Chain A
Amino acid sequence: QVQLVESGGGVVQPGRSLRLSCAASGFTFSFYAMHWVRQVPGKGLEWVAFISSDGSRKSYADSVKGRFTISRDNSKHTLYLQMNSLRGDDTTIYYCARDLGVPGTPLDLWGLGTLVTVSS
């Protein structure tokens, strides 16, 4: 079954760190670029980060640049998001998404999301 499953969310204090994982199955993970996208429940979508299929290229939203790091382990079919110096406005649902690989960066497969709550 082609799917993405996020994990690692939870409650964390401001200033602390958290690492999210996204396990891919049912497709050749190493062929695809991947993204993290987040969404405050009931609000709009916000792109967080991108990583190329081989991990050599990365890009971040200004809101997380310098605090978040995207990475991947193709041998484990897993995408990661290391989140440091967490703030209250990082409290959202985090989705991992697969890049279809055509111009325009369409995201054709999404996980169900994992909720991160930053609170003291």
Chain B
Amino acid sequence: QSVLTQPPSASGTPGQRVAISCSGSSSNIGSNSVNWYQQLPGTAPKLLIYSNNHRPSGVPDRFSGSKSGTSASLAISGLQSEDEADYYCAGWDDSLNGVIFGGGTKLTVL
């Protein structure tokens, strides 16, 4: 069972906006930044959002992140078929003294 809780699945149709939640605690999200990773089938994870709401170079502005208290959210607007992937939230946990990942959310584009 992951320290960070994500819904196992999400879905949307092309053009829609979807949001994926990530719930943690005071020792992780509550006191540290949240990052999001996208993992396309058969590939390594890719950093999608860092420090709660920053996009690395090359990531479309359709992807956005937010954080409030001990929860965070990844939003994808203008959903496209190529967005179909697994999405993971992650961050540092002060109690565990390590990086923790959410269980992952499989996004399906209908």
Q: Tally A residues with Cβ within 8 Å of B.
A: 25
Q: List 24 A-B contacts (CB under 8 A).
A: A37-B99, A37-B101, A44-B2, A44-B88, A44-B103, A45-B37, A47-B90, A47-B98, A47-B100, A47-B101, A50-B98, A50-B99, A61-B98, A100-B47, A104-B32, A104-B51, A104-B52, A105-B91, A105-B99, A107-B37, A107-B47, A107-B99, A110-B46, A113-B44
Most buried by B among A37, A97, A106, A107: A106
B51 engages A106 (CB within 8 Å): yes
B45 engages A45 (CB within 8 Å): yes
Q: How far is the CA of A1 from the CA of B2 in the complex (A)?
A: 34
Instruction: Decide yes or no whether A26 CB sits under 8 A from chain B.
Output: no
A62 engages B96 (CB within 8 Å): yes
Q: Mark A104-117, 1 if CB is under 8 A from B, else 0.
A: 11111011110000
A108 engages B50 (CB within 8 Å): yes
Instruction: Decide yes or no whether A13 CB sits under 8 A from chain B.
Output: no
Q: How far is the CA of A62 from the CA of B92 in the complex (A)?
A: 15
Interchain CB contact (< 8 A) of B101 among A46, A59, A100: A46
Q: How far is the CA of A113 from the CA of B34 in the complex (A)?
A: 23
Q: For the complex of A and B, list the 10 residue pairs with the smallest distance between their C-beta atoms, beginning with the closest.
A: A104-B33, A106-B50, A47-B99, A110-B44, A106-B35, A45-B101, A108-B47, A44-B104, A105-B92, A44-B103
A59 engages B44 (CB within 8 Å): no
**Main SS at interface, chain B:** strand
Q: How far is the CA of A103 from the CA of B45 in the complex (A)?
A: 19
B101 engages A104 (CB within 8 Å): no
Q: Which residues of A contact B44 (CB under 8 A)?
A: 95, 110-113
A100/B100 contact (C-beta < 8 A), A95-B44, A106-B35, A113-B44 known = no
| A29-48, CB < 8 A from B | 35, 37, 44-47
| B70-110, CB < 8 A from A | 88, 90-92, 96-104
Q: How far is the CA of A1 from the CA of B103 in the complex (A)?
A: 32
Instruction: Kindly list 19 other residue pairs between chains A and B, CB separation below 8 angstroms, not including A97-B45, A107-B35.
Output: A37-B99, A44-B104, A45-B45, A47-B90, A47-B98, A47-B99, A47-B100, A50-B98, A61-B96, A100-B47, A102-B50, A103-B33, A104-B34, A104-B51, A105-B91, A106-B51, A108-B47, A112-B44, A113-B44
